[in-house]
Amino acid sequence: MVEIALVLDEDGAIERMDFSGHATPKIPRIKGFWRRHQGLNEEALAHRSACAAVTLMARTVARMAASGTGWTVDGNTPSPGNLSLEILRRPEDAIEWWRGVSETLLQALADVESEYPGSISVSIEEKYHGS
């Protein structure tokens, strides 16, 4: 199971995200999709699909923040299957854009959970002024 912890700031945008468990052992490359996946049951294939989707989403969001002008971020990938990102500073004129990115990620995660039930666990902490 992929465990995802998100912290949303006062604007409803990602302040911190941690993803763990989104990597699975690689299957040896054998010509042909079905031979590569031979021996995997439907649950294992669904888990691999969910992991791939979540991995791409996490990397994309992290790269979007890290490449922004005027942004200060801290992040790492301490081991395969683990990614963390913290937004330390973002430009004021990027609030709406980053909220949109955050809402898109939340919807995409909900879609993965709907498509592959039990494949991910998402916890969301919402910060409010004074908390």
Domain boundaries, the chain: 2-126
Give the whole-angstrom CA distance, residue 2 versus residue 120: 5
Alpha-carbon distance 131 to 129, whole Å?
6
What's the pLDDT tens digit per position in 102-111?
999 999 999 9
Computed from CA positions of residues 110, 112, 115, 120, in that sequence, does the dihedral angle turn out positive or negative? negative
Q: What is the CATH number assigned to the segment(s) 2-126? A: 3.30.70.1490
Q: Is 130 helix (H, G, I), strand (E, B) or coil?
A: coil
Residue 119 sits at φ, ψ, to 5 deg, of -85, -25
DSSP 4: E
Residue 30 above 50 pLDDT?
no
Tell me the per-residue pLDDT of 58-92, one tens digit each, with 9 for 90 and over.
Answer: 999 999 999 999 999 999 988 888 899 999 999 99
pTM, two decimal places? 0.81
What are the tokens at 4? 């995802």
Q: Is the dihedral of CA 129, 83, 18, 27 positive or negative?
A: positive
pLDDT category of residue 1 using cuts at 50, 70 and 90: confident
Which H/E stretch holds residue 86?
A: strand 82-89
